[in-house]
Amino acid sequence: GHTLQVLANQLGFLQQSPKVFLHGNVDDIFSEKVESLLEERQLARASKNWEAADQIRLTLHAMNVRILDQTDGSTSWRKIEA
């Protein structure tokens, strides 16, 4: 554990919090908006409303958010700096 962290620090890894690393440098309000949109999209997909799901994906894309649908049904996301 400790040796790995020392080596990672020397190499410049693990310098960001997991939240910043996974989602980008975003505030809580932005994160909540993205999570809300992802929940709406999941509901649209579950009811096979592909048009609504695609529209939400486009909305997220316009917010510079890239989403990745996982094989387990979950969706991860990251803010991409424009």
Q: So what's the pLDDT on residue 11?
A: 66
Nearest to 38, CA basis, from 71, 68, 81: 68
pTM score: 0.69
The 10 Å Cβ neighbour count of residue 24 is 18
Q: So what's the pLDDT on residue 23?
A: 55
Q: Average pLDDT per run of 10 along the chain, which is 82 residues long?
A: 68 57 70 94 96 97 93 89 72
Q: So what's the pLDDT on residue 3?
A: 76
Q: So what's the pLDDT on residue 9?
A: 65
Report residue 67 as tokens: 């989403």
Q: So what's the pLDDT on residue 28?
A: 84
Query: At residue 70, what is the residue type?
Result: Q
Q: So what's the pLDDT on residue 45?
A: 94
